[in-house]
Chain A
Amino acid sequence: MLTFILRRLAFLVPMLLVVTFVIFALILLLPGDPVFAILGDAATPAQIAELRQKLHLDQPIIVQYLVWLKSVLTGDFGRSLRTSELVSDMLLTRIPVTVELSLLSLVVSCAVGIPAGVIAAVRRNQWPDLVFSTASLAGIAMPYFWTGILLMMLFSVHLRWLPPSGYIPLFQDPLMSLKLMIMPALTVGLPLSAVIMRQTRNSMVQVLSQDYIRTAEARGVSPMGVLFLHALRNALIPVVTVIGLQIGSLIGGSVVAETMFSLPGLGRMVIEGIFQRDFAPVQAAMLIIVIGVLLANLLTDLSYAVLDKRVKI
């Protein structure tokens, strides 16, 4: 198990190099010279040369990258041009919001997707299957933001059950915080539940047709026992993989949801940075997001190994 984890971690290194280089290189694509942006047009040649040297802009790109990577590795992401706030401090307040939203979305998607998938599989080709399968088909083509708009129109405007947007930290006012999180979590979680439902249904159908399930039934295990003790555990293995593959999409959805519902998370940090042309926070937030995705993938692999004893490691 330890060597498995180590090997997976070693595999992450080239990926991280690629990812960090791309994030770094995005800034190079920006039109305009950052020196002029900082000093303004009135700068003297001496000032320009000095700042160039200070920012390592006179060095080859690969050196600039390594300098940047070194500072990033020590947790130094620079300061926001806009607010002069340390980007690392911004991250500390933003990360919990996105983590909370992502986890809640995950809960929503599993809470909806897995039972729906099980029911569809058990009532295969009957009306519950038809309803859930159609809904899941539709879920593939649902843009996150449209789900969000429809939820908002329904729950805030027509029913007036939920406040339209805003954020309160969980520990400050747990009830209000969760209330504000319901719609964003549904926005992100529902489209994801479509994918989970489809996979649960398919693998459940497959598992239920296998011999050991029939054997368990024949031994007199109760139908519910068969379903939950035997079938579901095995059917969930591919579901876990699918969830892992959807983490990127889930975080993409979080960007949309955070923007729509004014949640101060990482995604909103990216969007705000882009609109204010303040790219240090954008880079930092993107890096954290990608690392989050990579770690989630790693966790998926590990849980896969734990769930499925057949995967020899």
Chain B
Amino acid sequence: MTSIVQETSARRRPISQLGLAARRFRQHTLGKIGLAIMLVAIAGAVMAPLVAPYNPEAIDYASILSPPSSTYLLGTDEIGRDLLSRLLYGGQVSLAIVAGAISIALVAGSVIGLTAGVLGGRIDDVIMRVMDGLLAFPMLIFALAIVAVLGPNLANAMIAIGVVNTPEFARLVRGQTLSIREQEFVQAATALGASVPRIMFKHIWPSLAGNVVVYAALRACSALITESSLAFLGLGVSPPTPTWGQMLSTALQYPEAWWIGVFPGLAIFFTALSFNFVGDGIRDAMDAKINT
């Protein structure tokens, strides 16, 4: 197969177009909705100590599994803890893991992709074969296995989800690097004797950074789902730290308490959806060409 040269829209975009992109984003309805939901989720998590009506660990034996009421807006769980407060605090853990994991994947994937793309040849072949091999693992199972060997805690969940998302970033960055590498300003830097890291980070990276950020927002959606799946399967951060996925696993034992099954799920669902909308919004605003 002849390699397909991807057109990078980032190519000739001058800095001032950032403002233009912001204006276009503001006209993107779903993007705006997504941003609003995302900000609510982040604000809820950050300000949980201020806005949560109860201590998330506080147990009220008098109202175990009580349905939503004026006292407990979203009801209580199986040992009488306030679901709303737990949801707000749960966002802290889930969002922190997503942010950490996507940062890891973004940095690692970009460095790997840039290296493969700039050096090319045999090194590129080996790196990309390894990435293809890693991509053959179903993401959730791969993450499960990593958390299983490293042990379930916040840092390891970030690492696991970060690692399983890395190959996708590497592939995206490498593909774009291959086309930017052929641009004359990169050749000019080579002719000046610029080192490989200099070419990678000073000359190629700025042209694809925008696309990588868009991709990060889109991947955050699946990272949140992976995170909550791990927690749901019992491989998340250890209790009593609440996470959305973990809260849902108790719903399996108390299926009559519909509120336990519905509200944490809605939290995950809307937050994940908001990442996706925001990513789509930025992509359309920047006119970036990324396939998801």
Contact = CB atoms under 8 A, between A and B. Distances in A.
Interface of A: 14-19, 22-23, 26-27, 29-31, 137-138, 140-146, 149-150, 152-153, 156-157, 164, 248-249, 251-253, 255-256, 259-260, 267, 270-271, 274-275, 282, 286, 289-290, 293-294, 297
A293 B136 contact: yes
Contact of B228 (A140, A143, A259): A143
Contacts of A259: 233
B160 to A, nearest CB: 11
Nearest to B275: A141
B251 to A, nearest CB: 5
B217 to A, nearest CB: 13
Closest 5 CB pairs of A and B: A18-B133, A252-B140, A141-B272, A141-B273, A146-B265
B225 interface: yes
Given A141-B225, A149-B265, A27 B149 contact: yes
Contact of B150 (A29, A138, A267): A29
A140 B140 CA distance: 15
Main secondary structure of the interface of A (DSSP, over half): helix
Contacts of B233: 255-256, 259, 271
B146 A26 contact: yes
Contact of A251 (B141, B145, B262): B141
Contact of B221 (A27, A140, A267, A270): A140
Interface in B226-285: 228-229, 232-235, 245, 248-249, 251-252, 255-256, 258, 261-262, 265, 268-270, 272-273, 276
B137 interface: yes
A138 B269 contact: yes
Given A19-B137, A260-B252, A286-B141, A14 B273 contact: no
Given A149-B252, A157-B255, A30 B130 contact: no
Contacts of B149: 26-27, 29-30
A145 B229 contact: yes
Report which residue of A150, A252, A286, A297 has the largest number of chain B beta carbons within 10 angstroms of its beta carbon.
A252
Contact of A149 (B135, B140, B151, B248): B248
Given A22-B137, A143-B228, A152-B255, 16 more contacts: A18-B130, A29-B149, A140-B221, A141-B268, A141-B269, A141-B270, A164-B255, A248-B137, A249-B138, A252-B140, A255-B144, A256-B140, A256-B232, A271-B233, A289-B141, A297-B136
A17 to B, nearest CB: 7
B18 interface: no
Which interface residue of A145, A156, A248 has the most chain B CB atoms within 10 A? Answer: A145
A150 B266 CA distance: 11
B287 interface: no
**Interface band, chain B:** 35 or more
B145 A286 contact: yes
Contacts of B51: none
A252 B146 contact: no
A1 to B, nearest CB: 17
A27 B221 CA distance: 30
A145 B264 CA distance: 12
Contact of A157 (B228, B256, B268): B256
Given A18-B129, A270-B144, A140 B134 contact: no
A282 B148 contact: yes
20 contacts: A15-B132, A22-B137, A26-B146, A29-B150, A143-B228, A143-B232, A143-B245, A143-B269, A149-B251, A149-B255, A152-B252, A152-B255, A153-B261, A248-B137, A249-B139, A252-B139, A253-B140, A256-B229, A271-B233, A289-B138
B273 A140 contact: yes
B129 A14 contact: yes
B255 A143 contact: no
Contacts of A252: 138-141, 229
Contacts of B256: 157
Nearest to A157: B255
Given A143-B225, A143-B265, A19 B141 contact: no
B235 A19 contact: no
A248 B138 contact: yes
Contacts of B258: 153
A137 B265 CA distance: 16
Interface string B77-113: 0000000000000000000000000000000000000
Contact of A271 (B132, B135, B144): B144
Given A252-B138, A290-B137, A142 B252 contact: no
A17 B138 contact: no
Nearest to B249: A145
